[in-house]
Chains A and B, each alone.
Chain A
């Protein structure tokens, strides 16, 4: 980049270059990336949000600008507020179960065990499988009449369970599936956190005669706080947006009791051609997630000024 400046040679230009050297380099590096990013997701997303201000029901209709009507409807219609509420608590439940079980696994994996690598891989296997395929396996297992689990229950003389008509079981299986897929990844991140805790603190604790539990409480936990912030936020953002497992496992049933907001957005956009509502719901969801993230971040890091708001796991490749 310095060369470019030399070749161009104009003295005033040179001076500008020198003073804003960082900015120029940043612009040269970032501009093309951001342009491609705009094409890939920026423009479509903004376009999608923009639609939130229109009444556009049906593929052949002319969109009609209606200001905030879609947003007002969102908060008046229990279908949407209910879905939003479910997204939040189901997301919270999925996050809690995944993270707690992942933490337990990470503590075990952090011990000097032979075959650590094997265990890590074993636990991570579900994360690399495709959702479409594995939800189908879950459905085969959960089939009311001939499912593997019910067949097993019948063979030991128990009554089969009608999973599909119990919201409790529906949520249970969504959580189990999500935790099954997520626990390996969570364990890895916790493990990274455990390994980044300052080892000298443990030695100091040993000298003080601290037990296993005391070390966990007074050394490990505080040392993990930053990574906990990271993993809670990323998992929560990911979990609030789950819809594939809902689509494939319960399809929103029974009677819409497991319908989450992203599932609703999907239905609005693709089934009812109600692109206006889909845009409005997405915007509301994005705002809530962003605000919640900022608050949680502020709360958990206290005075730490360094900005480390992370995001959901790496975007699916395009």
Chain B
């Protein structure tokens, strides 16, 4: 007992020395490294003007809107040159694409430039200098964020997807100020913030999240003798279509369905089926509900879908493979986020897009996917400026740009619900409606969340890939999961 007390005290001292950071004295560190962005063609660096007054806001890079690493004002010019010089892009950007007027058509390759330009101008007017850092994405990003939180060394705004709700639950993020929260609740589609809601507060925002839709390759569907314009409305209809396409494909192409791999890419997509069938990963308290009746039904349906895929494709561990199969015209149907539309048309695939079919007693529902949630860490140095940045993300200018680009839907209701948007982008309007409905994020379990997810993912793949009894497998997974979370 005594020893325990002493060690505890010693540890607390160690931790206080080691982990507690003071709030000041960071300027020196920030100034040590002034990045010089590199240009592509001759290697010459552009000048980096150093702003002495005002604050420098550090934001993590996000792939969909990245213009490079460094001071954004300097990067924009470089990015423009690089985009014009890049031969691999299609459509290739021309000079005129870089001036944007609201309502005009946007070259999707120039979108990151225009997006950052608007936000940068807004920040400049508030005397904020924007700086980006690249911490990667996925696993490497989570590792670096973990270390950064422990050392209390975080940028002003961090970005991430499935790990972010967990950070919020652990009290590592700053809740949005009350006025922002109220505005967001009233004016913005839930897909953009609902997964980041915890204990009645909002901890993160994504400017252009997605939800899942059903996509299909019209050419393949037609070859199977089906109406390529008609979307299946129920699970049974979908399964019937998949079967027909698979038969017609004779091993050259297959029906397809949904990606089911044991990773976030799988959960984010087939999770939609669980939600539609009024099941789900966890109950309201965040306890696992892996073996609920509804889930068993959904998993049995997934097992059926597996038969409409080339062997092993559906539960492949590498999600890229699944989407490549669609691009290569090997599967006709899949469930994915809105970007699938523009990617398909770039590749010359004539595609259809519709809401996900419903199960016999299911309700419409969806999972937020491809959402880069922006949050302000508790240890951020410039919180006010950081919230200004997030305000800029849902400003009318940025949201209009997203609407005009047409790759994803805006989340600001006033723009998405305008008649102009409905007529110009009917598919993306459907997508917006799905974002405004019953939308969830992936839950974070109370303890050792990734281990619990792994148990679930493994159990689902086992149910689909082996002939084992689904109920027995899922019961076992539930038991294992409860042993960890209890």
Contacts and interface: CB of A to CB of B under 8 A. Distances in A.
- Direct contact, A vs B (beta carbon within 8 Å): yes
Interface of A: 53-54, 57-60, 62-65, 67, 79, 139, 143-146, 159-160, 162-165, 250-256, 267, 269-274
A103 B324 CA distance: 41
B440 interface: no
A145 B325 contact: yes
B450 A145 contact: no
Contacts of B139: 270
14 contacts: A53-B7, A63-B15, A65-B11, A79-B451, A143-B318, A144-B310, A145-B321, A146-B324, A146-B330, A159-B311, A160-B310, A160-B311, A269-B146, A270-B143
B301 interface: no
A60 B170 contact: yes
Contact of A272 (B310, B316, B328, B448): B448
Given A58-B170, A160-B312, A272-B448, A250 B317 contact: yes
A54 B321 CA distance: 41
Contact of B171 (A60, A164, A255): A60
A272 B449 contact: yes
Contacts of A62: 12, 15
Given A160-B310, A274-B448, 5 more contacts: A144-B321, A160-B312, A250-B317, A255-B458, A255-B462
B90 interface: no
B312 A164 contact: yes
B150 A59 contact: yes
A273 B146 contact: yes
Contacts of A273: 146
- Give 3 closest A-B pairs by Cβ, nearest first: A162-B312, A271-B450, A144-B312
B486 interface: no
Contacts of A269: 146
A9 B262 CA distance: 73
Interface residues of B, number: 41
Contacts of A163: 312
Given A63-B11, A143-B318, A143-B321, A57 B447 contact: yes
Contacts of B150: 59
B8 interface: yes
B161 to A, nearest CB: 14
A54 B11 contact: yes
Contacts of B451: 79, 267, 271-272
A162 B311 contact: yes
B163 to A, nearest CB: 9
B450 A253 contact: no
B448 A57 contact: yes
B312 A145 contact: yes
B454 A256 contact: yes
Contacts of B11: 54, 63, 65
Contacts of B143: 270
Nearest to A269: B146
Contacts of A272: 447-451
Contact of B146 (A65, A162, A270): A270
Nearest to A165: B465
B214 interface: no
Contacts of B330: 145-146
A92 B224 CA distance: 52
B313 interface: yes
A115 B150 CA distance: 54
Interface string B8-27: 10011001000000000000
Contacts of A251: 263, 317
A65 B4 contact: yes
Interface string B203-231: 00000000000000000000000000000
B149 interface: yes
Contacts of B447: 57, 272
A268 to B, nearest CB: 8
Interface centre among B15, B447, B451, by most chain A C-beta atoms within 10 angstroms, is: B451
Contacts of B262: 253
Interface string B160-178: 0000000100111000000
A146 B328 CA distance: 9
A110 B222 CA distance: 64
B274 interface: no
B248 interface: no
A124 B4 CA distance: 53
Contact of B311 (A65, A144, A256): A144
Nearest to B310: A145
A196 B328 CA distance: 56
Contacts of B324: 145-146
Contacts of B311: 144, 159-160, 162
Contacts of B294: none
Nearest to B7: A65
B353 interface: no
B377 to A, nearest CB: 11
Contacts of A159: 311
Interface string B323-352: 011001010000000000000000000000
Nearest to A163: B312
Contacts of A255: 458, 461-462
Given A57-B447, A59-B170, A271-B450, A144 B316 contact: yes
B72 interface: no
B34 to A, nearest CB: 25
A217 to B, nearest CB: 46
A52 to B, nearest CB: 13
A97 B311 CA distance: 30
Nearest to A147: B321
B415 interface: no
A62 B11 CA distance: 10
Contacts of A63: 11, 15
Contacts of B263: 251
B142 interface: yes
Contacts of A271: 142, 449-451
Interface string B438-471: 0000000001111100100010011001000000
Nearest to A139: B318
B71 to A, nearest CB: 29
B276 interface: no
A54 B146 CA distance: 18
B310 A165 contact: no
A60 B378 CA distance: 11
Contact of B149 (A59, A64, A79, A250): A59
A120 to B, nearest CB: 35
B8 A145 contact: no
Nearest to B452: A272
The interface centre, meaning the residue of A145, A159, A256 with most chain B CB atoms within 10 A of its CB, is A145
B398 to A, nearest CB: 31
Interface string B288-329: 000000000000000000000011110111100100110010
Contacts of B462: 254-255
B316 A164 contact: yes
Interface in B46-89: none
